């Protein structure tokens, strides 16, 4: 009898993962929970299938699912011995809980889940990492931001942009601060353009096939949070803006004549226009001769690092 139940459970779980309709997924979860009321996968996916209001009222489903899996994570000091699927599922649940609690306003509990997530994650999930760094910045625990980003096994735009922000707030070394921000640019050369609303993500991109894994939604959430953190003070925003526009200018990403005229007048006032134009022309010549954009970006970042921002930040 138990074997038959196990087969039925496996079949229902398979159907759940293949079903796109949330309502039908919920019904399948009900059947699964009738057979196995304490099945953590059933509880988790049942919770996922709920609408916003119901997910708040039934948050215990997610808590219960995590509690049911936790003993399998804690049973050994060697996490490599934990079943890979169970491990991945548990970390995903922590990520969902952290982000849900944070955006529901319960930041204290959100940080608890995010911290546990950071200790376990080895697949570079985004949501809980975003919550973790955001709360540290909000608490102005800049030392923890820097330490966490430097020890994080996943180098992400969220972690590196927050590390740069933390160094901006605490370091007296201009080159160290600039290098940190350019490291964030190296991971995602165009993230800052969206943070500053120079560019916007088109709705068609969200609906595109390229967004099947939810990458664009995650990027939108990251951009929104980083925009809020970096605009918290005028000094932060001014620094990010200066670096972003310098990178945009020398890599040829500025197309509006008014923007170009404004920034060139600013560079003329600072006394670095000739350097900026010369650097831009060299990089554009490389692009015209067949170098791809990533090569141009790498060279631009190297030049900005090696010259202290071409005189912009000293």
The arithmetic mean of pLDDT across residues 175-194, rounded, is 96
Give the torsion through C-alpha atoms of 108, 114, 120, 125, to 10 deg. Answer: 170
List of residues 6+ apart from 92 with CB closer than 8 A: 125
Q: What is the pLDDT of residue 314?
A: 47
Q: Is residue 9 scored above 60 in pLDDT?
A: yes
Q: Is 13 in contact with 32 (CB distance < 8 Å)?
A: yes
Specify the higher pLDDT residue, 272 or 180. Answer: 180
Distance from the Cα of residue 30 to its chain's centroid:
33
The arithmetic mean of pLDDT across residues 104-117, rounded, is 97
Q: Is residue 82 scored above 90 in pLDDT?
A: no
Give the torsion through C-alpha atoms of 132, 138, 142, 144, to 10 deg. Answer: -30
**Selection from 286, 274, 281, 185 nearest residue 226 by Cα:** 185
- Provide the pLDDT confidence category of residue 59 given band limits of 50, 70 and 90: very high
Encode pLDDT of 195-228 as tens digits: 999 999 876 555 555 555 567 888 999 999 999 9
Question: Which token pair is 117?
Answer: 């997530």
Q: What does pLDDT average to over the chain?
A: 89
The arithmetic mean of pLDDT across residues 280-302, rounded, is 96
Helix (H, G, I), strand (E, B) or coil at 202: coil
């Amino acid at each position: 009898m138990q074997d038959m139940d196990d087969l039925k459970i496996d079949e229902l779980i398979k159907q759940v993962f293949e079903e796109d309709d949330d309502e039908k997924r919920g019904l399948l979860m009900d059947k699964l929970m009738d057979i196995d009321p304490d099945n953590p996968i059933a509880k988790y996916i049942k919770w996922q299938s709920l609408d916003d209001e119901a997910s708040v009222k039934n948050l215990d489903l997610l808590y219960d699912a995590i509690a049911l899996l936790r003993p399998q994570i804690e049973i050994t000091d060697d996490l490599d011995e934990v079943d890979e699927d169970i491990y991945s599922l548990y970390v995903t649940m922590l990520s969902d809980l952290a982000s849900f609690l944070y955006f529901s306003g319960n930041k204290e509990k959100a940080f608890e889940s995010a911290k546990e997530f950071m200790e376990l994650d080895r697949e570079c999930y985004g949501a809980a990492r975003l919550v973790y760094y955001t709360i540290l910045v909000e608490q102005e625990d800049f030392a923890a931001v820097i330490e966490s980003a430097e020890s994080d096994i996943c180098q992400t735009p969220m972690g590196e942009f927050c590390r740069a922000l933390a160094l901006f707030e605490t370091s007296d070394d201009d080159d160290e601060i600039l290098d940190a921000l350019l490291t964030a640019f190296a991971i995602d050369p165009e993230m800052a353009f969206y943070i500053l609303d120079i560019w916007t993500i088109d709705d068609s991109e969200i609906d595109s096939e390229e967004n099947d894994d939810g990458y664009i939604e995650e990027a939108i959430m990251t951009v929104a949070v980083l925009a809020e953190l970096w605009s918290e003070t005028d000094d932060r925003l001014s620094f990010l803006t200066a670096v972003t526009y310098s990178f945009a200018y020398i890599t040829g990403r500025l197309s509006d004549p008014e923007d170009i005229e404004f920034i060139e007048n600013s560079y003329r006032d600072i006394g670095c226009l000739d350097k900026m134009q010369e650097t831009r022309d060299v990089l554009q010549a490389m692009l015209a001769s067949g170098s791809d954009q990533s090569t141009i970006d790498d060279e631009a970042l190297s030049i900005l690092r090696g010259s202290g921002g071409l005189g912009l930040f000293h």
